[in-house]
């Protein structure tokens, strides 16, 4: 077993174990950061598959996302940092049954399907090839993703903001109240 195999199995075990831990641990912050650990392990596994840029980006994005998600968890569930058992599930056994069945189906598919041979070989500089693909042949993807991101920002702000600009600046949008800066 080469060092790459060993590293991959470590990442794999860490990813699945911390994924399970998300739903088992006793505190919101632990659940969130268990998910972050799972994602970091997944990113490292992707890195071991020679996609260094995507692995690094997965690690970066997911840690940032989990840091923000932790705030939302606390906001909605209002639990304190002390550890207390929390298990809020419904139809628990049915969910376990479905997920085990899914794993068996997909796993047997992975093992039994006659996968074809590799087609082509990886480019010498994977990151540069990805960049060039995004900027040249797959520019439409780049533009669409950009527009979707802007739309998401607008959706997020519109849905969650409880003040409009008329609340902040007055009915004729002239009242620039310096006391308004920041918290309401």
Partner 1 sequence: MTLETVLLVASALLSVGLYGALSQQVVVMVMMGLELMVAGVLLALGGLWWFLAPDPSGQVLMIVVLAAMTVEMATGFAVATVLHRRAGGDMTDMTAELHE
Partner 2 sequence: MPESSVLLGAAAVLAAVLALTWVTATGAAMGAGRGLVLAATDPWLETARLLRQRRRTTLRADVLLWRLSGWSLLPLAVLLVALVPWGPHVVVPTELGVVWANALDVVVWAAVWLLGWGANAVAGLVGGYRFLALALGYELPLMFALVAPAMAASSLDLAMIADAQSDLWFVVWMPVAFLAYLVGVLGFALHGPLAAPVGDEVAGGVLAELSGPDLLVARAGRHALLGAGAAVAVPLFLGGGSGPWLPDPAWVAVKAIILTALLSYAAGRLPRLRVPLLLGPAWVVLLPLVVLQDLVVGVVLL
Q: ∠ CA 49-130-146 to the nearest 5 degrees?
A: 115
User: Is residue 182 part of the contact set for partner 2 (CB under 8 A)?
Assistant: yes
Per-residue binding string, partner 2, 40-79, x by CB under 8 A, is ------------xx--xx-xx--xx-xxx-xx--------
Check residue 50 and give left, alpha or beta (phi > 0: left; psi -120 to 50: alpha): left
Task: Give, as ranges, the residues between 66 and 105 that touch partner 1 (CB under 8 A).
Answer: 69, 72-73, 75-77, 88-92, 94-96, 98-100, 102-103
Per-residue binding string, partner 1, 3-32, x by CB under 8 A, is -xx--xx--x--xx--xx-xx-------xx
* Residue 183 contact among partner 2, partner 1, none, beta carbon within 5 to 8 Å by kind: partner 2
Q: Which two tokens stand for residue 178?
A: 């310096």
Taking the C-alpha atoms of residue 153 and residue 148, their distance in angstroms, rounded to an integer, is 9
User: Is residue 137 part of the contact set for partner 1 (CB under 8 A)?
Assistant: yes
CB neighbours of residue 7 within 10 Å: 14
């Amino acid at each position: 077993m080469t060092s790459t195999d060993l590293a991959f199995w470590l990442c794999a075990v860490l990813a699945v174990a911390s994924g399970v831990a998300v739903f088992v641990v006793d505190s919101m912050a632990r659940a969130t950061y268990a998910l972050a650990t799972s994602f970091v392990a997944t990113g490292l596994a992707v890195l071991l598959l020679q996609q260094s840029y995507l692995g690094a980006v997965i690690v970066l994005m997911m840690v940032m996302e989990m840091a923000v998600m932790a705030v939302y968890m606390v906001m909605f569930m209002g639990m304190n940092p002390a550890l207390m058992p929390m298990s809020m599930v419904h139809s628990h056994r049915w969910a376990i049954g479905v997920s085990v069945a899914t794993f068996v189906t997909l796993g047997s598919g992975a093992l039994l399907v006659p996968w074809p041979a590799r087609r082509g070989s990886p480019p010498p500089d994977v990151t540069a090839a990805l960049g060039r693909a995004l900027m040249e042949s797959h520019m439409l993807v780049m533009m669409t993703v950009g527009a979707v991101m802007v739309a998401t920002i607008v959706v997020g702000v519109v849905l969650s903001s409880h003040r409009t600009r008329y609340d902040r600046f007055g009915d004729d949008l002239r009242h620039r109240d310096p006391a308004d800066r920041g918290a309401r």
